[in-house]
Amino acid sequence: MLFLSVDFGTSSIKISIVDENLKQLQTAKEDYPYILLPGEKVEIDPDELFASLSRAAGKLDAGLMSQIDMLCYCTFSPSPVLMREDGTLAYPNIVTHMDRRSRAQTDTILAKVGKDEFLNITGFYPFAGGAGVMTLLWFMENEPAVLRDVACFGHLPTYIHHKLTGCWMTDLVNASMMGLYDTVTQSGWSEELLEKLDIPSAWLTDIRQPGTAFGTLQKDMADALGVREGIPVAVGTNDMASAQAGAGNFEPGCIMDTAGSSDMVSILTDQPVVHPRYYLRNSAIPGLWQIYATTAGGFALDWFYGQFCREMEANTFYGAYMEEVIDGWVEEKEVSFDPYLTGDRQSLEKRAGAWRGLTLSATREEMLAAMLRSMNRVLYETIEEARKLQSLKPVIQIAGGMSDEKFIRLKTREIPGFRFEVVDNCSILGNVALALRFMQQ
């Protein structure tokens, strides 16, 4: 049996042909730009997204593509979308998790719901970029005309699934990331939140289990991809939830670190306890949750390179120079860093990165080392909170561009007590693992 597995990332798409033994037979990748607009808006053009999907699919062997039996996928999120009855977008673009237009809507939720009540229902605080409902409230308060034609509100998997199959759904994981779902009890959309925030329940779809077959591939998308019309399409989900499955993690206490443009940790738990220092999200498996936190990762390194090290070749900076910094500045001395270069997605306040302890003797190497240490400590603090609730596995599985030997040495120092195991292509493989899991039930 052959699967076509797709990972829609923040700036690129990966696509693979995978067999039932989770062996990747062929892989392709295509980049697409995200759009930066005034007012801290960060969006993606859906035409660019699907054009990149078609180009990536065109790089794969046509003979193998004609034998595909099922399509499965995952996406970045939060990724709010406002859709019309026919599945087209009422607002023309996909809003990304990097978007911060909705800072003022935190106050809306605090006034109408209350900080602790929102946390105790959704599993997180109402901060910009952290939940789809923030963007929805922004449109309700700032561009209500956009909502006249809205028939459905969701995240990117809802839009993609309708585009592929014509069927409406919200997956279990993204439901808990929208800020309108009772995550702590996994009991469905919160009537209390919908009522207090004046959001029509008709805008929300049925919640489906990731990996389960739901609908079949429509002709236009089959033609664009070069696969057969009518093959089943599995319910897609969030990329981190897929990555856990791709790493073989289906039990409480498993830890996954995805170290790419952002550095994210996800800990599976059967103890749905909320805390201000982390998100509580559904996992892709009913009855399990994710304790989750994120920090800047590769975005921060790219920024540092562009601001402080432009005289270097990029491969020197990300290679030998990075290794020198990681191994040469092991201990924290005078210089420290506040790890909020991309904000703090666990705080209601607008926070920013900052070095402390700078003197005339400080070097850029010491500054970079402080930044690297601080980002990993964000993840370590979350793991330590999880340890209070859950017995943890001794191995942290790690994937992404910041998972080579030098970064693992850094993480071993800053996140002590664990062994790191590198795993590859977890989101792509996780899409298939989830489909296989539910096919066998």
For residue 364, name the pLDDT band (cuts at 50, 70, 90): very high
CA 432/CA 427 separation, integer angstroms: 9
413-418 average pLDDT score: 94
| Peptide linkage before 78 cis (omega within 30 of 0) | yes
Q: Write the pLDDT tens digit of every residue in 32-55.
A: 998 999 999 999 999 999 999 999
291-306 average pLDDT score: 91
Which sign does the torsion angle of CA 343, 90, 284, 172 carry? positive
For residue 435, give its domain range: 2-241+427-439
Residues 70 and 218 in one domain: yes
CA 150/CA 229 separation, integer angstroms: 29
CA 441/CA 438 separation, integer angstroms: 5
Residues 98 and 189 in one domain: yes
User: pLDDT value at position 362?
Assistant: 92
Is the pLDDT at 234 greater than 70? The verdict is yes
> Does the pTM exceed 0.85?
yes
Residues 289 and 367 in one domain: yes
Residues 197 and 279 in one domain: no
For residue 349, name the pLDDT band (cuts at 50, 70, 90): low
Q: Write the pLDDT tens digit of every residue in 136-158.
A: 999 999 999 999 999 999 999 99
Q: Write the pLDDT tens digit of every residue in 165-181.
A: 999 999 999 999 999 99
What share of the chain has pLDDT > 90, as a percent?
86
Q: Which two tokens stand for residue 225?
A: 């991809």
Residues 382 and 435 in one domain: no
Is the pLDDT at 261 greater than 90? The verdict is no
User: pLDDT value at position 166?
Assistant: 98
Number of Cβ atoms within 10 Å of the Cβ of 349: 10
Residues 79 and 195 in one domain: yes
Of the listed ranges 88-97, 241-250, 294-303, 411-420, the least confidently predicted one is: 294-303
Of the listed ranges 197-206, 225-234, 308-317, 350-359, the least confidently predicted one is: 350-359
Is the pLDDT at 67 greater than 70? The verdict is yes
For residue 345, name the pLDDT band (cuts at 50, 70, 90): low
Residues 294 and 167 in one domain: no
Q: Write the pLDDT tens digit of every residue in 185-213.
A: 999 999 999 999 999 999 999 999 999 99
Residues 116 and 92 in one domain: yes
For residue 277, name the pLDDT band (cuts at 50, 70, 90): confident
- Number of structural domains (the chain) is 2
Give Rg (Cα) of the chain. Answer: 21
375-401 average pLDDT score: 94
Is the pLDDT at 230 greater than 70? The verdict is yes
User: pLDDT value at position 331?
Assistant: 80
User: pLDDT value at position 282?
Assistant: 97
CATH of the domain at 401: 3.30.420.40
For residue 350, name the pLDDT band (cuts at 50, 70, 90): low
107-123 average pLDDT score: 97
422-437 average pLDDT score: 95
Residues 23 and 115 in one domain: yes
Residues 254 and 138 in one domain: no
Mean pLDDT for all residues in the chain: 94
Number of Cβ atoms within 10 Å of the Cβ of 220: 11
Is the pLDDT at 346 greater than 70? The verdict is no
Residues 194 and 321 in one domain: no
For residue 216, name the pLDDT band (cuts at 50, 70, 90): very high
Distance separating the N- and C-terminal Cα atoms of the chain: 17
For residue 98, name the pLDDT band (cuts at 50, 70, 90): confident
Residues 63 and 133 in one domain: yes
Q: Which two tokens stand for residue 422?
A: 């590198």
What share of the chain has pLDDT > 70, as a percent?
98
User: pLDDT value at position 227?
Assistant: 98
Contact 199, 136 (CB under 8 A): yes
Is the pLDDT at 334 greater than 90? The verdict is no
Higher confidence at residue 345 or residue 336? 336
301-312 average pLDDT score: 95
